[in-house]
Amino acid sequence: MRQTQQTTLTPRAWGELFLLALIWGAVFLAARLALDEVGVLTAVAHRTFWAALVLWGVVLIARFPVPRDPAIWVGFFGMGLLNNVLPFTLLNWSQLHIESGLTSIFNATTAIFGVLVAALFFADEKLSLRKLIGVGLGFFGVATAIGLDALRSFDLTSLAQLAAIAATLSYALAGVWARKRLGGLAPPVAAAGMLTMSALMALPAAWIVDGPLQINLSATTWGALAYMAVIATAGAYLLYYRVLAMAGSGNLMLVTLLIPPFAIVLGAVVLKESLPPNAFAGFALLALGLVILDGRLITRLCKR
């Protein structure tokens, strides 16, 4: 799908952008609730398998053509690994050791890594001075959120923080892979193919690591898994491409800034989490870095 740039958001676009941020913000809470009863890879397997089924239903109802070229399915495999299996696993595991709200803050570095990785792989994505300043502020924000104590003494919490950051690097690499291998496909088809390959990787891995999938789970766990798969994955992918078409890729980056507040509030209300002041300071610096990366606010201020 061609990504357009739009500088003005309609009220409807703002509403759907906030809805997408709420959906993805709440997935951190849902994942943490599910992990009380199922293993990390089992949660990934449930999320990808049920989401794939839902999206194939959309593809069949809409009568989109199903790709038959093996090269496209190789593309789905790489995308499933980089955009689902690796980041979902890393983020799930990190939430066992750090707060869900803090995990969402680290997740916001996806845009920072996206700029760096794109500059490495694409000639038309060179790093300007503005982008370098934005990236630098973003990484300074991450270091602030981690905290000096974690930087001085490496422990399980530090490893969990690094795992969350590694997940965002995987997302950034997925963006490069999609641009190189999956251009021109209808979004529901691309998402369904990617999630199918994700499930084919996650299901056997979960069986080996966590044991056979259990169905005698609590209502809370099933509700969390259903939310992760149906709403936060299948539904969110469809909403993502809808907002992309409506608002453009530049405006869509705003969702990166909107997710952590939702995740932090839900973690505080439901899980009774509290984040240290350095986490909020780090997010503020990261947000400033993302605003500079976007560039439009700076352009408007310079015109005044």
- Whether the pLDDT of residue 276 is over 90: the answer is no
144 touches 281 (CB < 8 A): yes
Q: Report how far residue 182's alpha carbon sits from residue 211's, in angstroms, rounded to the nearest whole number.
A: 34
Which residues, 6 or more positions from 281, have their beta carbon under 8 angstroms from its beta carbon? 141, 144, 145
Q: Measure the N-to-C terminal CA separation of the chain; round to a whole number of Å.
A: 35
- Whether the pLDDT of residue 181 is over 60: the answer is yes
Q: Is 95 helix (H, G, I), strand (E, B) or coil?
A: helix
For the residues 284-301, what does the mean pLDDT come to? 76
Supply 249's token pair. 């890729």
- Cα-based torsion angle of the residue sequence 239, 241, 242, 246 in order, rounded to the nearest 10 degrees: 140
- Cα-based torsion angle of the residue sequence 199, 201, 204, 210 in order, rounded to the nearest 10 degrees: -80
Q: Which residue would you say has higher pLDDT here, 136 or 30?
A: 30
Supply 303's token pair. 């015109």
Q: Which residue would you say has higher pLDDT here, 27 or 183?
A: 27
- Whether the pLDDT of residue 304 is over 80: the answer is no
- Whether the pLDDT of residue 291 is over 90: the answer is no
pLDDT, tens digit, for every residue of 255-264? 888 899 999 9
| The pLDDT value given to residue 118 | 86
For the residues 196-216, what does the mean pLDDT come to? 95
Enter the DSSP assignment of 4: P
- Whether the pLDDT of residue 3 is over 60: the answer is no
- Whether the pLDDT of residue 154 is over 50: the answer is yes
User: What's the length of the chain?
Assistant: 304
172 touches 39 (CB < 8 A): no
For the residues 10-37, what does the mean pLDDT come to? 93
- Whether the pLDDT of residue 274 is over 60: the answer is yes
**Mean pLDDT of the chain, nearest integer:** 88
Q: Which amino acid is at 59?
A: V
Comparing 13-17, 88-92, 197-201, the range with the smallest average pLDDT is: 13-17
| The pLDDT value given to residue 2 | 41
Q: Report how far residue 303's alpha carbon sits from residue 37's, in angstroms, rounded to the nearest whole number.
A: 55
- Whether the pLDDT of residue 94 is over 60: the answer is yes
Q: Is 183 helix (H, G, I), strand (E, B) or coil?
A: coil
| The pLDDT value given to residue 152 | 63
In terms of phi and psi (left: phi > 0; alpha: psi -120 to 50; beta: otherwise), the region of 211 is: left
23 touches 231 (CB < 8 A): yes
For the residues 58-86, what does the mean pLDDT come to? 95
Q: Report how far residue 248's alpha carbon sits from residue 244's, in angstroms, rounded to the nearest whole number.
A: 5
pLDDT, tens digit, for every residue of 113-135? 888 888 888 887 788 888 888 88
Comparing 49-58, 96-105, 124-133, the range with the smallest average pLDDT is: 124-133
pTM of the model: 0.90
Q: Which residue would you say has higher pLDDT here, 218 or 121?
A: 218
